[in-house]
Amino acid sequence: MYKSILKMRKVAAVAACLAGMTTFTQAQTPDTNWYTANPGNNSFSISNADELAGLAVLVNNGTTDFSGKTITISNDISLANYQAGAGWTSIGRQNSTPFKGTFNGNGKKITGLKTNSNFYSDVGLFGSVIDGTVKNLGIENADVAYTSTSNVDGGILANYFSGGIVVNCWTSGTVNSSSRAGGIVGYNDGKIENCYSTANVNCNFQYLTQAGGIAGGNNGTISNCWSIGKVSSTSTNSDAYVGGITSVVNYPNGSVINCVALNESLSCSGGSTYTIFGRVVGRNDNVSTSINNNIAFDKMLDPSGDTVWSPTGATTINGADISALAINSDGTLGDRFVSDSGWTTQNGKLPGLFGNAVDMPLYLQVTFTITATAGTGGSINPSGVVTVNGGTDQPFTFTANSGYEISQVLIDNLNNFPAVAAGTYTFTNVSANHTIEVYFAPITGISEATAEKMTIYPNPTSGQLRVSGDIWDSGDREIRIFNVVGQVVFTSQLSKLSPETTIDISHLANGLYFLKVDGKTIKVIKE
Query: Domain 2-322 adopts which CATH fold?
Result: Pectate Lyase C-like (2.160.20)
pLDDT, position 500:
75
State pLDDT tens for residues 18-57: 333 444 454 689 999 999 999 999 999 999 999 999 999 9
Specify the higher pLDDT residue, 474 or 499. 499
Tell me the average pLDDT of the chain: 88
| Residue-level pLDDT at 448 | 39
pLDDT, tens digit, for every residue of 319-369? 999 999 999 999 999 999 999 999 999 999 999 999 999 999 999 999 999
Each residue of 278-298: b (16+ CB within 10 Å) or e?
A: bbbbbbbebeeebbebbbbbb
> Residue 516: its pLDDT value, please?
80
Q: Give the separation between CA 419 and CA 6, rounded to whole angstroms.
A: 70
Residue ranges of domains in the chain: 2-322, 367-442, 454-526
b/e burial code for range 181-214 (CB count within 10 A of at least 16 → b): bbbbbbbbbbbbbbbbbbbbbbbbbebbbbbbbb
pLDDT tens sequence across 387-420: 999 999 999 999 999 999 898 999 999 988 788 8
Give 454-526's CATH code, choosing from 3.90.1150.10, 3.40.50.10860, 3.40.50.10320, 2.60.40.10: 2.60.40.10
As a whole number of Å, the end-to-end CA separation of the chain is 76
Rounded distance between C-alpha atoms, residue 83 and residue 92, angstroms? 18
